[in-house]
């Protein structure tokens, strides 16, 4: 009603006195208005028009997104589009805008295709930045994080991004990390979470342990940049190596991971060997130490002569009970035989422990099994130390090798024994999981406060005991202050640390390390399917309905670690019967960075602001005369090359920024943010031209008379056919780009091409052809996922055109509620015959109709042409030297004697 009153208020007084509501009309350029508000169409798309369009449509598009939330029991096909959730730093950056624009575009597109879309959002909210901020500012990290989340959610909403906020998850809240702890206990009970002393990477600035993956090639911390130190600490690990081979093999089931598959495969390595478990003995007595040792030839494990460790091994540097025995005989640079022996839990054989002269084994190995039958080096060591071993390989006349002296495996070929021995070791839970020498277990301990507490208590009698599931979550206690130095801050929470053992009820202490944030993000895609469940992490039927994620979108920097951990946990959940699928992500869209131009002093490397540069000459120089290096780097405040997304949106508009991000480069490539390039002017012009097309149609229909396709002449009909073909070609290409390769820049280029075709249409075709109307409708609908505000307004203007010819414009609803356009069936019809152009000596002389199925068969085409009336007339008496059948077009060229 209010909208109607506004329309009446803007009508000429004489018209309203006659009781007539004015028909939508072209408004003079001097008045600024909006069709959706007033029913009056403005001729041109100006900056003020853009601002009002976005103000009007932003809340309506957001409301439509909330209304279209997924419903359980819907018979619509599901589509799960997921963008990697952000750390709540408090401010969005342009990288966020890029990834979420892509996911929002795909979400709108799939809804228009009739799918039930899940496009959730949450917060990777634990981690060092919040704790460091709390230390520096004397704040509670929880309150700091909560405030940042509120700020960032407002920023995301201001960008018009239609997330399913009713499924929001926040990893630092107990209702989330309760289930992170639940999954940890599942791993613990399965023997996949364990604690051991290890030489670890220590960040002296952030005062915490780093996984190997978090140290760069220069030996510096990925977060603080500090030079990493080596420290021996008791740490928690997850035995991801047990899943190395399944994770490697499953990459074959991910054809649409493209380059990331190779990165994952390289990270895992070739899984050609395995570990076996050993119990250490000293003076004939078991020490309680268990050691896992690697063999690249597990089929020959019965031929082991010794176990070798590196001089850097934890047994020589930690609190091991065999340390003194090892130190007593250790001599650097020599293979040292020790008094310690190791009993293989698979073969029951006992072999001596040797400290190797080597500084490193293959990959990251620190313990290997010496088998003389398989290695000249192992043979040399065994002989030098006068060790005994059993020969386990026999070579047959045909060159194959079979096993001997290997219990029930004797007589098997090496390959058969490899399969049988590793399988039985797995069944006995004493090793046998195929892995590579370069892969290590996942180190998850962090000596910091702001993380998920590890749900384990340490009892003097019972050892490490998991907290009972019914007592979860183990809630992170409030601490009066944080210092962030040395040991875990949780050591200071005495009332929290001191507890009772769940098993014997005796005194115990809680684990004071917290989990790495990669654990939180390894399963969040499951929680989105059932975010409010208080009884379990998620219902299986809901996870099975939504998983696998149809498209997972995120940055290149997560192509290895996060994806590897997420895949591991998904495989584990499948083995636990929690879900049906092993692989969590069907398609992967890894997007590049948005880089800004940086200016650095050549001598000192100091970054300069733009206002500190003199651009008057061809080469920029510093205002004080210093030479300047100009590069493109990831946007950063410290480099003075960052952009505030809200300022960019304020300057250019939401749709312009969205289109620029999608058009400037394919998703996988970096964008060099430069508003002077062709991309920004190009999308600005295209929006104006799209608006002009609606203006053109509305103007043509106001020329008088009802549209009548029968008045179109032959030339007009040829033009309408071209429009029809271009429309169908655009639908075909854009749909493929949205579903297969995500080349949104190519999709926009195709829509610009259709815009050119429609812009060149004659007034008669615009006024009287249904093809123009349908093509313009399809163009606007295909633009809608990428520029929803503009598309919504021009759709409203198009649907109110006088005397519409196509039913599409009369079915009601905003553009995002329309069905995605389909290619007309007749466009896809393959003709039975084709018209083949015939050239003689490169000169056209006519056409011959040939069956489509033989149109690429050179000999049959040549015979048909020669037998045709055209061939008999022009070629019958000529000597044909050569004939060329085009592989791309329906054309044959005969070269003859003149």
Q: Rounded to the nearest 5 degrees, what angle is found at the Cα of 72, between the Cα atoms of 66 and 78?
A: 80
pLDDT level of residue 138 (50, 70, 90 thresholds): confident
> C-alpha distances in angstroms, 37 versus 33, 47, 241, 618, 780?
8, 17, 62, 50, 20
Q: Rounded to the nearest 5 degrees, what angle is found at the Cα of 570, between the Cα atoms of 564 and 575?
A: 125
The three-class DSSP label of residue 461 is: coil
Are 65 and 105 a contacting pair, CB within 8 Å? Answer: no
DSSP letter string, 845-859: EEEEEEEGGGTT-HH
How buried is 736 (Cβ within 10 angstroms: 0-12 exposed, 13-18 middle, 19+ buried)? middle
Percentage, residues of the chain above pLDDT 70: 94
Higher pLDDT, residue 323 or 2: 323
User: Helix 714-736 and helix 744-759: axis angle, to 10°?
Assistant: 170
Predicted confidence at residue 756, as pLDDT, reads: 95
The three-class DSSP label of residue 279 is: strand
Express the helix, strand and coil content of the chain in percent, nearest 5 each: 40, 20, 35
Residue 840 clears pLDDT 80, i.e. is over it: yes
Residue 595 clears pLDDT 90, i.e. is over it: no
pLDDT in tens, 482-492: 775 656 889 98
Percentage, residues of the chain above pLDDT 90: 67
DSSP letter string, 155-189: HHHHTT---EEEEEEETTSHHHHHHHHHHHHHHHH
- Altogether, the residues listed in the chain come to a count of 898
- pTM of the full structure: 0.85
> C-alpha distances in angstroms, 810 versus 60, 554, 769?
20, 40, 17
Q: Rounded to the nearest 5 degrees, what angle is found at the Cα of 273, between the Cα atoms of 270 and 278?
A: 145
Are 797 and 698 a contacting pair, CB within 8 Å? Answer: yes
Residue 861: partners with Cβ closer than 8 Å, 6 or more residues away: 836, 850, 854, 855, 885, 892
pLDDT in tens, 230-243: 888 899 999 999 99
Residue 498 clears pLDDT 80, i.e. is over it: yes
Determine the average pLDDT of the residues in 185-214.
86
Distance CA 571, CA 246 (A): 8
Are 474 and 501 a contacting pair, CB within 8 Å? Answer: no
pLDDT in tens, 239-275: 999 999 999 999 999 988 877 899 999 999 999 999 9
Residue 48 clears pLDDT 90, i.e. is over it: yes
Higher pLDDT, residue 656 or 622: 656
Distance CA 548, CA 584 (A): 5
Residue 28 clears pLDDT 90, i.e. is over it: no
Q: What is the mean pLDDT of the chain?
A: 89
Residue 287: partners with Cβ closer than 8 Å, 6 or more residues away: 280, 281, 320, 321, 322, 340
Predicted confidence at residue 828, as pLDDT, reads: 84
Q: Rounded to the nearest 5 degrees, what angle is found at the Cα of 594, between the Cα atoms of 256 and 91?
A: 110
Predicted confidence at residue 20, as pLDDT, reads: 32
Residue 17 clears pLDDT 50, i.e. is over it: no
pLDDT in tens, 727-737: 999 999 999 99
Are 578 and 543 a contacting pair, CB within 8 Å? Answer: yes
């Amino acid at each position: 009603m209010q909208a109607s009153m506004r329309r009446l208020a803007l009508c000429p007084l004489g018209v309203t006195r006659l009781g007539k509501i004015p028909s939508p009309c072209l408004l003079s350029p001097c008045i600024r208005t909006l069709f959706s508000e007033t029913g009056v169409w403005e001729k041109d798309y100006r900056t003020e028009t853009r601002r009002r369009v976005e103000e009007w449509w932003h809340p309506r598009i957001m409301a439509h997104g909330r209304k279209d939330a997924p419903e359980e029991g819907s018979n619509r096909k599901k589509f799960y589009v997921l963008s990697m959730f952000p750390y709540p730093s408090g401010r969005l950056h342009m990288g966020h805008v890029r990834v979420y624009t892509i996911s929002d575009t795909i979400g709108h597109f799939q809804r228009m295709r009739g799918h039930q879309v899940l496009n959730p959002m949450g917060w990777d909210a634990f981690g060092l930045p919040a704790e460091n901020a709390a230390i520096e500012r004397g704040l509670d990290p929880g309150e700091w994080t909560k405030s940042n989340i509120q700020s960032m959610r407002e920023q995301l909403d201001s960008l018009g991004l239609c997330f399913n906020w009713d499924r929001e998850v926040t990893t630092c809240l107990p209702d989330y990390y309760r289930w992170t702890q639940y999954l940890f206990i599942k791993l613990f009970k399965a023997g996949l979470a364990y604690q051991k002393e290890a030489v670890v990477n220590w960040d002296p600035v952030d005062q915490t342990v780093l996984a190997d993956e978090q140290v760069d090639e220069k030996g510096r911390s990925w977060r603080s940049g500090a030079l990493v130190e080596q420290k021996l600490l008791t740490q928690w690990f997850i035995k991801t190596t047990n899943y190395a081979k399944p994770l490697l093999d499953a990459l074959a089931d991910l054809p649409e991971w493209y380059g990331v598959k190779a990165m994952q495969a390289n990270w895992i390595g070739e899984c050609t060997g395995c570990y076996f478990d050993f119990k250490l003995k000293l003076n004939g007595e078991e020490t309680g130490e268990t050691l896992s040792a690697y063999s690249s030839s597990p089929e020959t494990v019965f031929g082991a002569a010794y176990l070798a460790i590196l001089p850097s091994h934890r047994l020589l540097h930690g609190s091991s009970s065999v340390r003194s025995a090892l130190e007593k005989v250790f001599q650097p640079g020599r293979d040292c035989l020790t008094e310690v022996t190791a009993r293989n839990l698979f073969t029951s054989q006992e072999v001596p422990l040797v400290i190797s002269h080597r500084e490193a084994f293959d990959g990251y190995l620190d313990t290997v099994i010496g088998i003389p039958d398989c290695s000249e080096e192992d043979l040399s060591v065994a002989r030098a130390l006068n060790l005994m071993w059993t020969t386990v390989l026999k070579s047959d006349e045909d060159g194959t090798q079979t096993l001997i002296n290997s219990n029930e495996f004797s007589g098997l070929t090496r390959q058969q024994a490899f399969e049988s021995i590793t399988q039985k070791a797995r069944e006995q839970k004493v090793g046998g999981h195929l892995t590579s020498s370069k892969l290590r277990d996942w180190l998850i301990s962090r000596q910091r406060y702001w993380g998920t507490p590890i749900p384990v208590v340490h009892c003097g009698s019972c050892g490490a005991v998991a907290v009972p599931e019914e007592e979860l979550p183990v809630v992170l206690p409030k601490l009066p202050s944080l210092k962030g130095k040395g040991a875990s801050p949780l050591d200071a929470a005495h009332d929290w640390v001191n507890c009772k053992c769940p098993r014997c009820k005796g005194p115990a202490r809680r684990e004071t390390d917290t989990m790495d944030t990669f654990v939180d993000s390894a399963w969040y895609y499951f929680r989105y399917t059932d975010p409010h469940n208080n009884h379990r992490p998620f219902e299986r039927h809901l996870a099975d309905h939504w998983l696998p994620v149809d498209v997972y979108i995120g940055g290149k920097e997560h192509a290895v670690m996060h994806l590897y951990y997420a895949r591991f946990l998904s495989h584990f959940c499948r083995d636990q019967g929690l879900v049906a699928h092993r692989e969590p992500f069907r398609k992967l869209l890894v997007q590049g960075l948005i880089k800004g131009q940086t200016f650095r002093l050549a001598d000192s490397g100091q970054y300069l602001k733009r206002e500190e540069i003199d651009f008057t000459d061809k080469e920029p120089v510093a205002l004080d005369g210093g030479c300047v290096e100009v590069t493109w780097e990831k946007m950063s405040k410290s480099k003075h090359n960052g952009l505030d997304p809200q300022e960019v949106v304020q300057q250019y508009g939401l749709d312009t920024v969205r289109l620029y991000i999608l058009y400037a480069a394919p998703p996988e490539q970096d964008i060099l943010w430069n508003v002077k390039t062709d991309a920004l002017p190009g999308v600005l012009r295209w929006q104006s031209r799209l608006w002009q097309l609606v203006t053109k149609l509305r103007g043509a229909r106001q020329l008088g008379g009802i549209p009548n396709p029968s008045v179109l002449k032959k030339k007009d009909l040829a033009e309408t056919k071209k429009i029809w073909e271009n429309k169908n070609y655009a639908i075909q290409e854009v749909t493929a780009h949205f579903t297969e390769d995500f080349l949104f820049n190519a999709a926009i280029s195709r829509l610009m091409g259709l815009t050119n075709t429609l812009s060149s249409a004659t007034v008669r075709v615009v006024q009287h052809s249904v093809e123009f109307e349908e093509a313009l409708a399809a163009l606007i609908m295909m633009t809608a996922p990428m520029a929803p505000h503009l598309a919504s307004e021009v759709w409203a203007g198009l649907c109110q055109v006088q005397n519409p010819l196509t039913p599409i414009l009369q079915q009601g609803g905003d553009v995002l509620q329309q069905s995605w356009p389909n290619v007309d069936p007749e466009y896809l019809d393959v003709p039975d015959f084709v018209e083949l152009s015939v050239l003689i000596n490169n000169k056209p002389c006519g056409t011959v109709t040939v069956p489509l199925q033989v149109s690429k068969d050179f000999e049959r085409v040549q015979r048909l042409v020669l037998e045709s009336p055209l061939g008999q007339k022009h070629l019958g008496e000529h000597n044909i030297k050569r004939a060329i059948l085009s592989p791309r077009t329906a054309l044959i060229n005969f070269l003859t004697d003149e």
